Amino acid sequence: MLIPLGLDVVLLFGLLTNALLRKGDTAEQLVLALFFVPAFALFLASYRRRVGVGEGGLVIRRFWSDKALVWDEITHVGCLTLRRKVYLLLTTVKGFFIVSSILERFPALADAIVAHVGSERVDEDCRLLAGHAVKGTVPIAPAWIAAAALIGIIFLKLFP
């Protein structure tokens, strides 16, 4: 997911730089900036997001902060399946956290969570899921389509 999204950000930055340096139309600059800023923020958030498993517990890295969860702090593990995505719902003494199947190595992550948390705190559905967890599909196609469209726009701007 990071490669097409990163490509989109680079292409948007190129278009925005081109519009700013060539004194393009103000509306063009504004529209490109309005697309670039959220795309860049999404790329940074996606790049930073990780869930790691250690002997002591989980480490959840987000855009702004890191959260460490000790295995004993997890009071319940539930799962929710929506279409082709699976979500592990971790209820803790600090609140709740959601782990999506869109993450890399989700099957191994689900297995590790179920193995480390006691069976009395894990739903039956999650135990069954952990044995054969399916990695969720990432919506990559729209990012590649956007990259192709941006390359087309760059081509039309450079070779009118």
Please indicate, yes or no, if residue 78 is contained in any of the structural domains: yes
Q: What is the pLDDT of residue 155?
A: 92
Could you give the maximum distance between any two Cα atoms of the chain, in Å?
66
Please indicate, yes or no, if residue 142 is contained in any of the structural domains: no
Q: What is the pLDDT of residue 32?
A: 94
Q: What is the pLDDT of residue 136?
A: 53
Please indicate, yes or no, if residue 68 is contained in any of the structural domains: yes
Please indicate, yes or no, if residue 62 is contained in any of the structural domains: yes
Question: For position 115, which CATH number holds?
Answer: 2.30.29
Please indicate, yes or no, if residue 87 is contained in any of the structural domains: yes
Q: What is the pLDDT of residue 81?
A: 81
Q: What is the pLDDT of residue 33?
A: 95
Give the contacts of 131 (CB within 8 A, at least 6 positions apart): 111
Residue where the block lists tokens 């795309």? 39
Which pTM value belongs to this model? 0.73
Quick one: which of 43, 47, 49, 45 has its CA closest to 7? 43
pLDDT digits (tens, 9 = 90+) for 22-48: 887 899 999 999 999 999 999 998 888
Please indicate, yes or no, if residue 28 is contained in any of the structural domains: no
> Do the Cβ atoms of 123 and 110 come closer than 8 Å?
no
Q: Band the pLDDT of 86: cuts 50, 70, 90.
A: confident
Residues of the domain holding 57: 49-131
pLDDT digits (tens, 9 = 90+) for 122-149: 888 777 776 565 655 566 788 899 999 9
Please indicate, yes or no, if residue 11 is contained in any of the structural domains: no
Please indicate, yes or no, if residue 159 is contained in any of the structural domains: no
